[in-house]
Structure 1
Amino acid sequence: MAHTPEEALQTSADSEEEFTFSSEDDDDSEDESFHLKGRVDLAKDTIYNANVAPSCAHHTRAACKRSVFNSVEKLNECENERDQMPAAKRARTLSWKAETDVDRVAQTLRFLPAREPGPLLSAADSHSPMSLFKLFFTESVVANLCHNTNAQAARAIAKGRKYKWTDVGVDELYRYIGLVFYMAAVKMSSIADYWRQDSLFSLPFPATVMPRDRYRTISWNVHMSHPDADKENDRKRGTAQHDRLFRIKPLMNTIRLACKAFYHPRRNVAVKERLVACRANTGMTAYVKAKLTNFKFFVLSDSSNGYTVDFSVYTGKNSFPTDRGLSYDAVMSLLDRKLLGSGYHVYMDDFYTTPKLFTDLLALKFGACGMYRDQRKDFPKTASNSLSRNSSRGSIRWIRDGPLVCVKWMDTQEVSVCSTIHAAYTGERVQRKIKAQHTWKTKILPCPAPVTAYNQHMGGVDLSDQLLQYYAAQHKTMKWYRKIFLPFLDIAANNAFILHKELHGNMTHDQFMEELITELCDVKQKAAPKQFSTNHVPIPGAELTSNVRRIATVGRRICVHCKAVHGKKEQTPWKCQACDVHLCLQLNRNCFQEWHKSL
Structure 2
Amino acid sequence: MSVLHLPRSRMYWSSACRQPHVADVMPRHRWEQIKHFIHFSDNMAPNGSDRLFKIRPLIDALLPKFQALPQDQMLSIDEQMVPFKGRSSLKQYIPKKPYKWGYKIFVLSDTKDLVHSFDIFAGKTDPAPTGPDIGASGNIVLKLARVIQSAVNHLLYFDNWFSSLQLFVALANNGIPAFGTVQQNRLQGCNFSTDAEMKKKGRGALEEKQAVIDNMEIRAVKWFDNRGVIVASTFASAQPVSTVERWDRKLKKKVSVECPSIISLYKKFMGGVDDLDALIAYYRIHIRSKKYYHRFFFHFVDMVIVNSWLLYRRDCESLNIPKKKQRDSLSFRLSIAQALCMQGKGLSKKKRGRPSSDVERQFEKKRHRGPAQSIPTQEVRADAVGHWPVVESSRQRCKLPNCKGQTVFKCSKCNVHLCLNKKNNCFRDFHE
Is the structural similarity TM-score above 0.5? yes
**Partner secondary structure for residue 264 of structure 1:** coil
* Alignment correspondent of 1:190: 8
CA offset digits 1:125-144 (Å, max 9, x no partner): xxxxxxxxxxxxxxxxxxxx
Rounded to whole Å, the distance in 1 between the matches of 2:31 and 2:114 is: 30
CA offset digits 1:425-462 (Å, max 9, x no partner): 3122211122225x3x1111111212111111113332
Aligned pairs for 1:189-268 within 5 A: 189-199=7-17, 202-226=18-42, 230-233=43-46, 241-261=48-68, 263-268=69-74
Q: Larger relative CO (CA 8 A, sep 6+): 1 or 2?
A: 1
CA RMSD in angstroms comes to 2.6
* Alignment correspondent of 1:376: 186
* Number of corresponding residues: 329
Aligned pairs for 1:295-334 within 5 A: 295-303=103-111, 305-317=112-124, 319-320=126-127, 323-334=133-144
Q: Rg larger in 1 or in 2?
A: 1
Match of 1:512 among 320, 324, 332: 332
Q: CA deviation at 1:475?
A: 2.3
Rounded to whole Å, the distance in 1 between the matches of 2:54 and 2:310 is: 28
Instruction: Give me the TM-score of the superposition, normalised by structure 2.
Output: 0.70
Rounded to whole Å, the distance in 1 between the matches of 2:8 and 2:225 is: 45
Aligned pairs for 1:444-483 within 5 A: 444-483=256-295
Q: CA deviation at 1:292?
A: 6.0
User: Residue 280 of structure 1 contacts residue 479 of structure 1 at CA under 8 Å; is this kept in 2?
Assistant: no
* Alignment correspondent of 1:575: none
Q: CA deviation at 1:294?
A: 2.2
Aligned pairs for 1:577-588 within 5 A: none
Q: CA deviation at 1:194?
A: 2.2
Q: CA deviation at 1:468?
A: 1.4
1:345 aligns with 2:155: yes
Change (3 A) 1:337 1:186: closer
Change (3 A) 1:476 1:391: farther
User: Residue 391 of structure 1 contacts residue 410 of structure 1 at CA under 8 Å; is this kept in 2?
Assistant: no
User: Residue 207 of structure 2 contacts residue 221 of structure 2 at CA under 8 Å; is this kept in 1?
Assistant: yes
Q: CA deviation at 1:285?
A: 3.0
User: Residue 74 of structure 2 contacts residue 154 of structure 2 at CA under 8 Å; is this kept in 1?
Assistant: yes
Rounded to whole Å, the distance in 1 between the matches of 2:56 and 2:152 is: 28
Q: What percentage of residue pairs aligned between the two structures are identical? A: 25
Rounded to whole Å, the distance in 1 between the matches of 2:6 and 2:204 is: 47
* Alignment correspondent of 2:392: none
Rounded to whole Å, the distance in 2 between the matches of 1:493 and 1:296 is: 20
Change (3 A) 1:420 1:435: same
Q: CA deviation at 1:377?
A: 5.5
CA offset digits 1:519-556 (Å, max 9, x no partner): 1111869x9xxxxxxxxxxxxxxxxxxxxxxxxxxxxx
Larger deviation, residues 352-361 vs 313-322: 313-322
Instruction: Give me the TM-score of the superposition, normalised by structure 1.
Output: 0.51
User: Residue 386 of structure 1 contacts residue 397 of structure 1 at CA under 8 Å; is this kept in 2?
Assistant: no
Q: Which amino acid aligns with 2:16?
A: D
Rounded to whole Å, the distance in 1 between the matches of 2:30 and 2:218 is: 58
1:417 aligns with 2:231: yes
User: Residue 427 of structure 1 contacts residue 447 of structure 1 at CA under 8 Å; is this kept in 2?
Assistant: yes
Rounded to whole Å, the distance in 2 between the matches of 1:213 and 1:383 is: 66
User: Residue 209 of structure 1 contacts residue 521 of structure 1 at CA under 8 Å; is this kept in 2?
Assistant: yes
Larger deviation, residues 450-459 vs 284-293: 284-293
Q: CA deviation at 1:278?
A: 2.6
**Partner secondary structure for residue 388 of structure 1:** helix
* Alignment correspondent of 1:176: none
**Partner secondary structure for residue 299 of structure 1:** strand
Rounded to whole Å, the distance in 2 between the matches of 1:342 and 1:379 is: 32
* Alignment correspondent of 1:433: 247
**Structure with the largest fraction of strand:** 2
CA offset digits 1:574-598 (Å, max 9, x no partner): xxxxxxxxxxxxxxxxxxxxxxxxx
User: Residue 150 of structure 2 contacts residue 175 of structure 2 at CA under 8 Å; is this kept in 1?
Assistant: no
